[in-house]
Amino acid sequence: DTVLTQSPALAVSPGERVTISCRASESVSTGMHWYQQKPGQQPKLLIYGASNLESGVPARFSGSGSGTDFTLTIDPVEADDTATYFCQQSWNEYTFGAGTKLELK
Amino acid sequence: EVQLVESGGGLVQPGRSLKLSCAASGFTFSNYGMAWVRQAPTKGLEWVATISYDGSSTYYRDSVKGRFTISRDNAKSTLYLQMDSLRSEDTATYYCARQRALYGGYFDYWGQGVMVTVSS
């Protein structure tokens, strides 16, 4: 299985820039996607193909990377962005990272 | 508006069966692959199974192969997951998701989820 590693938690202040990382145990090319999940809700697609913004998602969200190292950036962070962010790879079946919980100070 | 509504969850004893359904609306169901993704309590997400747009191809994670069956009825715009020989480790919220094929596959719409609890 392709294992995706994310840092467990981050805390930032509104208005700041935050980067959430995801490292794959093997190359996944650009088969990396990002989701936001708020408590009690279903996941929501933010970024597909490493850097493509899903329709309707604010331009404050962006994605970058290829191969094994990927980043989701939120700039600027807003209070409503409090959530857990998951990466997902599609190069070798489908696996998800354990999620990064973003909290606002 | 795309809507996916799951049903059929509940409490079931180990070794027993359960069948989940997912009613789709707001898009041409027969044009898209579909998937089930689960999330154990306070845990991360885990892909379970995928079915192609016409039902001709199915894919499963190893831990459910031979126990779970994904299927679809395009005339009813409904996705199913038949779960047999259930184990305690299958306890999770099960999400139905629309799957897009670009970049290998990702999930662009998700249902609200249905809880499955496997316990004696």
Query: What would the pLDDT profile of B51-101 be if each residue is shown by its tens digit?
Result: 999 999 999 999 999 999 999 999 999 999 999 999 999 999 999 999 998
Q: Which of A28, A42, A89 to mutate to test the interface with B (most CBs of B within 10 A)?
A: A42
Strand partners, A37: A84
Q: Which pLDDT belongs to residue B43?
A: 86
Q: Which pLDDT belongs to residue B10?
A: 97
CA atoms within 13 A on the CB side of A63: 26
Instruction: Grade residue B2 by pLDDT with cuts at 50, 70 and 90.
Output: very high
Nearest to A43 among B35, B45, B102 (CB): B45
B1 lies within 8 A of chain A by CB: no
Q: Which pLDDT belongs to residue B48?
A: 98
Q: What is the mean pLDDT of residues B20-40?
A: 98
Q: Do B106 and A33 touch (CB under 8 A)?
A: yes
Dihedral sign (CA B11, B34, A81, A49): positive
Share above pLDDT 90 across residues of chain B, in percent, rounded to a whole number: 93
Q: Which pLDDT belongs to residue A11?
A: 96
Instruction: Grade residue B104 by pLDDT with cuts at 50, 70 and 90.
Output: confident
Q: What is the mean pLDDT of each run of 10 residues along chain A (105 residues)?
A: 94 97 97 96 97 97 98 97 97 96 95
3-state secondary structure of A3: coil
Q: Do B103 and A42 touch (CB under 8 A)?
A: no
Q: Which pLDDT belongs to residue A98?
A: 96
Q: Which pLDDT belongs to residue A89?
A: 98
Q: Which pLDDT belongs to residue B103?
A: 79
Average model confidence (pLDDT) across chain B = 97
Q: Which pLDDT belongs to residue B17?
A: 98
| DSSP for B17-69, written as a single string | -EEEEEEEESS-GGGSEEEEEEE-TTS-EEEEEEE-TTSS-EEE-GGGTTTEE
